[in-house]
Each structure stands twice: as structure tokens, then as C-alpha cells.
Amino acid sequence: MNEMVNGLTPLDEAQVAFFEENGYLLLRNACSGDLIDIYNQHMYNLAKNDIPNQPDSPEKATFSFRVFNPHLKDSFSMQMMKLPLIRGGLAQLMGDEGVGVQSMFFFKEPGSKGQAAHQDYEYIHHEPNTMIATSLAMEQIDEENGCLYVIPGSHKLGPLPHGKVKNLLEHADWTTETEGVDLSQEIPVFMEKGDILFFHCLLVHSSTRNKTKDRFRRSYVCHYIRHDSMVTKREDLKKKIPLY
């Protein structure tokens, strides 16, 4: 598959080296604002109309949860998983073509909790270990509306144990939290609408509660493995989506 990616090399050597050293890479202005606006509107309509609401709290149920794997039922989400810049960047970082295995659209309305520190590998075992995630900022993302935090270089620690979530005011209880690493080393990642963060599946990262009263924190997160890797445990994530 190597010949197919020769023309798709959006990253320079310094960016590839930064990812290898730190386990993440932020690409500024990677997606046009027009495309983001129309995708945001599309996902709002999709969530409003197609996702069943809880009878007691319809708005909350729709916009505090993520939409899981929209690419499997929504062609717009499928195309957003295949953005050429993502395809090219992944091919450079993985050494060959990537394929999509999971997508999540986060609305993170005001008050929504974040996700405790974790490595994505804990949730998506695969062989060989090649997974990289992308997070596309659908608006300005900062500490107030619940940005991501990363520990630079933590992808070099290998898979770490995960236990119970400790701070339930800040983090949702349905996940697990990395153990055996100093979480005070986490640094915030501020993003502007259209920025894309690439991050390694062993990078320790988390997000915090959206503390604002009137701002969402929307992002589109996709997970990719190299085309010759296999998801081993999750039956729901075995479908590989080619990016061309």
C-alpha cells in the first residue's frame, strides 16, 4: 500500500520527530471553518432528531453524552473521518496507510464532566500496537470549557494499569483512571476551531468538566490503526474503514 501515500505527506520532519518524542502533535488550521460550521449544524440536527432522549431530561441526554461511532450510520461523519490531511499525517506517523476503527462526536454542553486520565490502548487492544487518535476542534477549546490535558512523552511508558476514577466531580464515573504515573505532569492543550490533535494510543491524557455556563466544547475524535493491525477484543470495533 506504500505507493498510494507518496503524494500525501502533510507533516515535515520536525513535526514527525515531535510526535515521536512527545506522543502528540497539534496541527493548527487543519480543517476549514466552513466545513466545521456545516458539520456542527449537521451533528446538532442528528443528535436532536435521531438519538433517543431520556424522558426526564431530554436536552441533557442529547448534548452531555457523546455520539458513539457516528461514521457507521452517517455518511458526513464517515467523510470527516477520512479528511485527506488526517490520512496523510497518519501514513507518515504509522509508516503506512491507516484505517478508521472508531469515532466519537463530543458536544460537552456546559456542566458536562470530562474523562479521567487514561491511555486509549486500555479501551482498544489491538495487534500490533499502531493506534493513533485525532481530535478535531469544532470550536475554541480552553481550560474553561474542558480541554484535553496530556503528559508529554508518557507514550514511552508502555501500557499502564487503570483503576477507579478518583475525582468524580471532574470526571465521568463510567471510565477508568491510569495508575502509576504522576498526573501533575499533565499540560493543557488549547485548540482553535479547525485544529487537529494527533495522539498516540499510549499517551496519558484526560479532559476536565466544562465549567462554562454558555459554551459547548465540541470535538470529533477518531481512532485509527495501521491497515495491517487488528483490533483484538472489541467486537464492535473490528470494522476497518479505508481512508481513500
Ligand X SMILES: O=C(O)CCC(=O)C(=O)O
Residues within the interface to ligand X (CB under 6 A):
104, 106, 114-115, 120, 133, 148, 205, 207, 219, 221
Task: Pick the closest to residue 194 from 212, 222, 210, 218 (CA basis).
Answer: 218
Nearest approach in angstroms of CB 17 to ligand X is 24
Task: Pick the closest to residue 77 from 218, 202, 210, 214 (CA basis).
Answer: 218
Q: Choose between 8 and 40: whose C-beta lies nearer to ligand X.
A: 40
Nearest approach in angstroms of CB 115 to ligand X is 4
Q: Choose between 77 and 115: whose C-beta lies nearer to ligand X.
A: 115
Nearest approach in angstroms of CB 172 to ligand X is 9
Burial pattern 200-209, b for ≥16 Cβ within 10 A else e, equals: bbbbbbbbbb
Cα 173 from Cα 171, distance rounded (Å): 6
Task: Name the packing angle between helices 84-94 and 13-22 (round to 10°).
Answer: 70
- Taking CB positions, which residue lies at the least distance from ligand X? 207
Nearest approach in angstroms of CB 179 to ligand X is 17
Cα 104 from Cα 127, distance rounded (Å): 22
Q: Choose between 71 and 205: whose C-beta lies nearer to ligand X.
A: 205
Q: Choose between 5 and 86: whose C-beta lies nearer to ligand X.
A: 86
